[in-house]
Structure 1
Amino acid sequence: MIPHIAERYIRFAQWEAAGRSPIYERLALHVAHSQNCLGFLSALPADRQQPNLLFAAVRHVAGHISCPEAFDRVIHDQAEEVATVMRRRTTQTNEPGRCAVLLPLLAPITGPIALIEVGASAGLCLLPDIYGYDWGDHKLPPPQEFAGCAPIFQCSASPGTPQPVTHPDIVWRAGLDLNPLDVTCDADVAWLEQLVWPEHQLRLERLRSAISVAKHCPPHVVSGDLTQDLPALVAEAPGNATVVIFHTAVLTYVADQQQRDAFAKQMLESDAIWISNEGPRVFPQFSARAGQPRDDMFLLMQNGQPLAWTGPHGQQIAWLSATGA
């Protein structure tokens, strides 16, 4: 068990934190080689051992920690407090910036859309028609009624990436989550902020802007399991709208590959448009068409067809060629 945990933290340092968060890269490598930290993690359930969850829980308990020595002191002196947070909370990084890589797929859909997010957290990604976008050589400002208050998400887009000229026509939206967060609850908002990596001040500011907007039009997010409760939510969608079901960095937390594959089969057999933005190893039956896996990127797919590599926080989109290579 401990070697498996250590490998997980090394992968996180190398593929997720490297070049994006020097603090988390340093702490993850430290955890991977610390018997004290590994022992602490091994006493937790397997689904509560994620790096993002550990680091956010330590920040929740002890504030910003950047050096391994201080991190060790927290794990030693306040282990039970950290463990309590990790058992009660989950990794629910509600990164609204990911809407910048979703919009090239949502905007071309004609007619009204019923938008459903699986693993919605607080539902901030359910508001793509409210935000503004900057793809470098192309911009789409927020709708007039939200100008001045909605965040504008910057995303580096490769040549060939579709350039939306209008926001999608979303007439109904809902989210599904095991433990929905509430944008009007101070404790839930604080947890969302603690999940933002320490150096990412711009992400934190954009998150706060998105939360501020969401408080005026709170997304409808219900408690439920994506493996069981999605059909009931789909049934609530208006009949005159195209149902679009999407998820970002969610199915990776479904450990059983058979359950992932069953979910994919359910999506492909449904009448909905299915948009998946996950690590390339989540659905290997589809990702092989995208060529060599990029473990530092997500793979954006529509109905199982790979379309682009995307930055985990929506900061980049690299459109695939027609051959998928």
Structure 2
Amino acid sequence: MIKRKAQFKLWIALFFYILTGGMRILNSKLVSIYRTFAQEECRGVSRLYEVLARNIAEDEEVLKLSEKAKEGQPVPNLLFGAVHYLLLQGRPHKLKHFYRSMTDQPKDPENSFPCFKNFCRLYSKEIESLLQTKLVQTNEVRRCTYLYPVFCEVYRLTKNPLAMIELGTSAGLQLLWDQYSYVYEGEEVYGNRNSSLLLSSEVRTVTAPFLLKTSPPAGKRIGVDLNVSDLTNEEEYLWLKALIWPEHNERRLLFERAALHYVKNPPQLVEGNAVELLEDLVATVPENETLCIFHTHVANQLSHSMKKDLLYKIRQIGKRRNVFHIYNNMDDQKLHVDAIINQKEQRHTIGQIDGHGRWFEWQPPLIRFD
């Protein structure tokens, strides 16, 4: 009898050993994702998220919750966004004392994980729902600092109002680039100098960009995305705000001010596949406007075949009218300006750009208009 009990306990122990071993195998990919996220994306950028990601990589319970994330989404960003969202909504918990977005004097991040884990346990159902329904979308309005000189160059060349179609637009804040003001070197302000939103950036090359003192005239503006965000919707506004990392107060302030411009003058946003809809959208652009198709930090989400399809469609459009294609992440991370003028294709590399628009390199596009 005693021997049978011992064997039974052994089988139970073996069962749980296999079970937990299987769980470790199941989570091995997530472990690697969180460790990489902590080391390569958070270090020097967000101490809180670095500590949390490092600890999550060692915690079976939070890893299990992370498995609920929608396929294809960056899991750490989605989980941290979900937790931040619930805190911003006002869920009561001492975890908020570690978030600079919630307090002016946050506690030491090194002690944050027990609170974080407890929060995830208490609000697991809400977090799971957010992981399955929300998307990670960036709205870095500061990227307009390197788009502005590109649009100045295009307008100097064509002298026509600029029609803009943005692929992967999210909330469409970059479509409103002409409504913001800009400063690069010294105190000179460019763009809409009466704007409530001033964007600054560093030019990290000897060559300075050509800048118009006032914004070039804008014509048609259309944004397209698989999931557009409506900033007049409080829930969607708060979700995009939650995706901004807690320590990034300046990014949060820029987003809030840009959202005010959006509410006053919301651009046309279309939900759907940007590549499939492109030619139909172009057909709505007046002939007397200069067509600019642009996208930033989006093409890395496209498959090789989708990239080829996009370039093919732009070339087809170029057979009917002049078109400028402004982009990065098609082949590399640099900013590029391609032009099809009078059915002749020209390709130009502007330079490296910071993902948050804090700095960029500038080599002027030597576009010929003949």
TM > 0.5 between the two? yes
C-alpha distance in structure 2 between counterparts of 1:31 and 1:270, whole Å: 48
CA–CA separation in structure 2 for the residues paired with 1:139 and 1:33: 50
| CA separation of 1:274 and 1:4: change in aligned 2, threshold 3 A | farther
Indicate the residue corresponding to 1:35 in structure 2.
Answer: 60
Provide, for residues 50-96 of structure 1, a one-character-per-residue CA deviation record: whole Å limited to 9, x for no partner. 32222111111245455222222233332221121122221122121
Corresponding letter in the other structure for 2:270: V
**Is 1:154 aligned to residue 200 of structure 2?**
yes
Q: Which residue of 2 aligns with 1:128?
A: 177
Alignment of 1:72-111 (within 5 A): 72-110=117-155, 111=160
User: Which AA in structure 2 matches 1:109?
Assistant: V
**Cα distance in structure 2, aligned partners of 1:123 and 1:79:** 32
Per-residue deviation, 1:161:
4.0
Q: Tell me, in whole angstroms, the C-alpha distance in 2 between the residues paired with 1:104 and 1:237.
A: 22
User: Does residue 262 of structure 1 match 2:309?
Assistant: yes
In 1, distance between residues paired with 2:248 and 2:312?
37
Structure number with higher relative contact order (C-alpha < 8 Å, ≥ 6 residues apart):
1
* Residues 319/50 of structure 1: CA separation in 2 closer, same or farther (3 Å cut): farther
> In the alignment, what sits opposite 1:277?
328
Identity in percent: 28
Structure with the largest fraction of helix: 2
1:299 to 311, 329, 334: 334
- Where does residue 300 of structure 2 map in the other structure? 252
Counterpart check, 1:309 vs 2:352? yes
Tell me which residue corresponds to 1:168.
216
- Structure 2 CA distance for partners of 1:203 and 1:235, relative to 1, 3 Å: same
- Alpha carbons 1:126, 1:173 under 8 Å: kept: yes
User: In the alignment, does 2:139 pair up with 1:114?
Assistant: no
- The one-letter amino acid paired with 2:115 is A
Contact 1:130–1:150 (CA under 8 A) maintained in structure 2: no
- AA matched with 2:357: G
**TM-score between both structures, scaled by the size of structure 1:** 0.84
Structure 1 residues 172 and 142 mapped into 2: Cα distance closer, same or farther (>3 Å)? same
> Is 2:256 aligned against 1:211?
no
Contact 1:138 1:163 in 2 (8 A): no
8 A Cα contact 2:279 2:317, kept in partner: no
Unaligned runs of 5+ residues in structure 1 are: 288-297
CA displacement at 1:239 relative to structure 2: 1.3
Matches within 5 A, 1:189-208: 189-208=237-256
Number of residue-to-residue matches in the alignment: 302
1:314 positional shift = 0.9
TM-score by length of 2: 0.74
Distance 1:15 1:266 in 2: 36
Change (3 A) 1:126 1:320: same
1:308 Cα offset (Å): 1.5
Runs of 5+ consecutive residues of structure 2 not aligned to the other structure: 1-25, 89-95, 100-108, 339-346, 366-370
> Secondary structure of 2:276's partner?
coil
State the AA in 2 paired with 1:115: M
- 1:295 matched to which residue of 2? none
Cα distance, 1:138 vs structure 2: 6.5
Structure 2 CA distance for partners of 1:15 and 1:247, relative to 1, 3 Å = farther
